[in-house]
Structure 1
Amino acid sequence: MDLLKYVQDKYIAKKEFPEFKAGDTITVYTEIREGNKTRTQFFKGTVIQVRGTGATKMFTIRKMSGDVGVERVFPINMPALQKIEVDRRGKVRRARIFYFRDLRGKKARIKDVPFKKK
């Protein structure tokens, strides 16, 4: 296990991202390549889970696009990941809020926790 940690620390480039957890609303900016052009696309939604540690950390974001729920899983060390902004901190009592998938309308609201935006 120490060998794995050593290789991750030595060879995988670290990016600095803000701390976030389940229930937070974040915006993720990714670089999209189409042919020889590149553009930045953002995905704004609620974090429903954060799993793993260190370089293998992954997080899942859910947003509503019309009536359809869209979920996307991002590895924290994905090369196309440009930046992450925490828009709102949410107060939830679980680390993985899969029950959030079944909620609609007013029941799908998450209480805010005040915080300072950098």
Structure 2
Amino acid sequence: MNQALLDKIEAAHLRKEPLQFNVGDSVRVHTKVIEGDKERIQVFSGVVIGRRGHGINETFTVRRISYGEGVERVFPVHSTRVDKVEVERRGSVRRAKLTYLRKRIGKSAVAVREKQLQTGAAAPTEPAAPGAPATTAEPAPAAEPAPTAAPAASPASSAPAKAAAS
């Protein structure tokens, strides 16, 4: 077939807004599940351990530990069954595939360093409401130091003074 025709058909099935997550991020994937005549949303949360493919064939793999067993699910990026992907935490990794997490047990099986976000005046901030202008982050004012008071005399030291005065 003609490649231009294939690209045109593929473009019709691509997601309008691309999913914004990377390998190492902790995500919650909301998928549509049809049971009989009912449709519901099922959530699968875990760490993204890889992305592969491109175009309509692009997929991502999410891994989590459930009751001590590792569970992985592969989701197509452009599937209509994937309702949304929420990023719970951004991860900082130096690999495209995190298959080494499969060998780990317990808490270390999902341990990925958290990505450090920009701070300071140069860091962009998100608007408070849609359509509201973005504001720059301002440092909090420094708190005034508490005044130091002279130590109060203890009752034991004031008793001899009272006896001497009488």
TM-score, scaled relative to structure 1: 0.86
Q: CA RMSD in A?
A: 2.1
Higher RCO, 1 or 2 (CA under 8 Å, sep at least 6)? 1
Query: Which residue pairs with 1:57 in the alignment?
Result: 58
* CA deviations over 1:26-54 (Å, ceiling 9, x no partner): 00001111111111110000000001122
Query: Which residue pairs with 2:46 in the alignment?
Result: 45
* CA deviations over 1:50-81 (Å, ceiling 9, x no partner): 01122221000001101111100000121211
CA 1:35–1:106: 2 relative to 1, 3 Å:
closer
Query: Which residue pairs with 1:22 in the alignment?
Result: 23
SS of residue paired to 1:112: coil
SS of residue paired to 2:114: strand
Extract unaligned runs of 5+ from structure 1. none
SS of residue paired to 1:61: strand
- Letter of the 1:47 partner, please give it: V
The structure in which a higher percent of residues are strand is 1
After the TM superposition, which of the residue ranges 13-22 and 76-85 deviates more from structure 2?
Answer: 13-22
- Which structure is larger by alpha-carbon Rg, 1 or 2? 2
How many residues were matched structurally?
Answer: 117
**Partners of 2:92 and 2:38 in 1: how far apart?**
40
TM-score, scaled relative to structure 2: 0.63
Extract unaligned runs of 5+ from structure 2. 118-124, 128-166
CA positional deviation for 1:82: 0.7
Asked whether the 8 Å contact 1:17–1:84 carries over to 2, the reply is: no
Query: Which residue pairs with 1:7 in the alignment?
Result: 9
